[in-house]
Amino acid sequence: MKKSKISLDTDFVRSQFPAFQAEESRDWIFFENAGGAYVPATVIERLKRFFVAHKVQPYGSFALSRTAGEEMDESYRAITELLHAEADEVTLGPSTTLNFYVLAQGLRHLLNPGDEIVVTNQDHEANVGVWRRLSEFGAVIREWRVQKETGELDLSDFESLIGDRTKLVCCTLCSNVVGTHNDIGTVAELAHQAGALVVADGVSYAPHVIPDVHKLGVDFYGYSTYKTFGTHQGVLWGSRGALQQVKAQGHFFNQSESRYRLNPTGPQHAEIAALAGITEYFDALYRHHFGASSEDRHDRARKVFALVAEHEATLANRLLGYLKERPDLQLLGQDHAEPGGRASTVAFCAANISSAKIERELAERGIGVGSGNFYAHRCIEALGIDPNDGVVRVSMVHYNTEEEVDQLLSALDEILEKA
């Protein structure tokens, strides 16, 4: 007998998120997840518990303080295991933008005048501006540019940019407007052959894929937990070898402390303590779909995210199928989603109506999307789109449903017909 295929149970998924039950939010169709996703009850409960029961300086000797520290430690462990990382490879800082800023300061000493840094014009500015600024110290910036028709990056263009002087390559795993998963493994291989370090922005990738960080091939990987169903934090992973090359940026007495070396602000206690709620939620999804398991946390999450990838591709294809048939729309990136090949982050603009107006009209119909350039200013501009109005971005995650996409399509039909 053929084994029935397991698919993601979105009713169960949504039952884990209080936002789908709360009076203020339950009737909204929420498609602005790339700006920050809803959080499951497991995260909210941990955050509340920390604030209610032990909102004290952690790691002291009194019981409340010890518990506060233990809850933070649990989250460090949860994120480390989720990524298949080593404990001393993970920094939890206030945001990816700040983590990359600090990292750039820590890597600056490796650069001599004339050394080159490759940045893209596809990335969010968080993984561009901090590197470009190193030109003030003599670094030469080389820009890997997107293809004008699609917004995608072509590897042959990259090959022509790297050479003996390349010291850093800074590239996104997935643009927050184009959505294509870049072939970061090949980028890293070519960069390493040239002797360069690779900084990969995973902010738009992490809500859709759980990577084994050592297998990505890169030296540094950053993403933001407020977009992956948690509190507002940035995760910065670096391989041990790469981290050894970074100058510590924390206080002098914390230089050997892996959690503090690249986090001069110090850890944000409650926000970190709540992060274990993310893996607790993934585990609940695992148990619901697959039952009990002796697999490790990373493998369990990956199995869940295989279901997520299938579901998100279905959502994306429903929307892409509609958008690509409309001659009045310009679609960014690929017009078809294969699981693992394209994120369910879909951006477009219209010939006859501004992106801001489409956003407003959708909001009037109870559908929350974003519009603008999403700090991918250079990418939007390179595509010939006015970065002030930008694109409409529909960013879907695993708790979104096909019915919600259908409602969006009906609303778009109405809005575009009268434009």
Ligand X SMILES: Cc1ncc(COP(=O)(O)O)c(C=O)c1O
From the list 351, 349, 401, the residue with the least C-alpha distance to 359 is 349
Q: Please choose, out of 83-91, 94-102, 271-279, 385-393, the segment that lies near ligand X by the rule CB under 6 A.
A: 94-102
Say if residues 290 and 6 touch (Cβ distance below 8 Å): yes
CB-CB neighbours of 332 under 10 Å: 27
What is the DSSP-derived secondary structure letter of residue 168?
A: E
Of the candidate residues 83, 128, 191, 203, the single one contacting ligand X (CB under 6 A): 203
Of the candidate residues 129, 230, 234, 238, the single one contacting ligand X (CB under 6 A): 234
Q: Which helix (H) or strand (E) holds 6?
A: none
Say if residues 337 and 317 touch (Cβ distance below 8 Å): yes
Q: Please choose, out of 92-100, 260-268, 390-398, 401-409, the segment that lies near ligand X by the rule CB under 6 A.
A: 92-100
What is the DSSP-derived secondary structure letter of residue 307?
A: H
| Residue 68 vs 278, nearer CB to ligand X | 278
From the list 222, 190, 199, 181, the residue with the least C-alpha distance to 343 is 181
Of the candidate residues 67, 95, 105, 245, the single one contacting ligand X (CB under 6 A): 95
Of the candidate residues 80, 176, 258, 371, the single one contacting ligand X (CB under 6 A): 176
Q: Please choose, out of 40-48, 93-101, 178-186, 239-247, the segment that lies near ligand X by the rule CB under 6 A.
A: 93-101
Of the candidate residues 43, 111, 126, 273, the single one contacting ligand X (CB under 6 A): 126
Of the candidate residues 46, 54, 84, 124, the single one contacting ligand X (CB under 6 A): 124
Alpha helices per DSSP H over 262-401: 269-274, 276-290, 297-323, 355-364, 377-382
Q: Is 377 in the site for ligand X (CB under 6 A)?
A: no
From the list 322, 313, 345, the residue with the least C-alpha distance to 410 is 322
Q: Is 370 in the site for ligand X (CB under 6 A)?
A: no
From the list 215, 177, 213, the residue with the least C-alpha distance to 35 is 177
What would the x/- binding string for ligand X be over residues 143 to 172, using CB under 6 A?
Answer: -----------------------------x
In angstroms, what is the minimal distance from the CB of 199 to ligand X? 11
In angstroms, what is the minimal distance from the CB of 166 to ligand X? 22
Q: Is 263 in the site for ligand X (CB under 6 A)?
A: no
Q: Is 361 in the site for ligand X (CB under 6 A)?
A: no
Say if residues 162 and 170 touch (Cβ distance below 8 Å): no
Q: Please choose, out of 91-99, 101-109, 113-121, 379-387, the segment that lies near ligand X by the rule CB under 6 A.
A: 91-99
Say if residues 129 and 363 touch (Cβ distance below 8 Å): no
DSSP states of 49-115 as a string?
A: HHHHH--S-SSSSSHHHHHHHHHHHHHHHHHHHHTT--GGGEEEES-HHHHHHHHHHHHGGGPPTT-
Of the candidate residues 16, 33, 80, 96, the single one contacting ligand X (CB under 6 A): 96
In angstroms, what is the minimal distance from the CB of 7 to ligand X? 28
Q: Is 404 in the site for ligand X (CB under 6 A)?
A: no
In angstroms, what is the minimal distance from the CB of 97 to ligand X? 3
Q: Tell me which residues touch ligand X (CB under 6 A).
A: 95-97, 124, 126, 172, 176, 201, 203-204, 224, 234
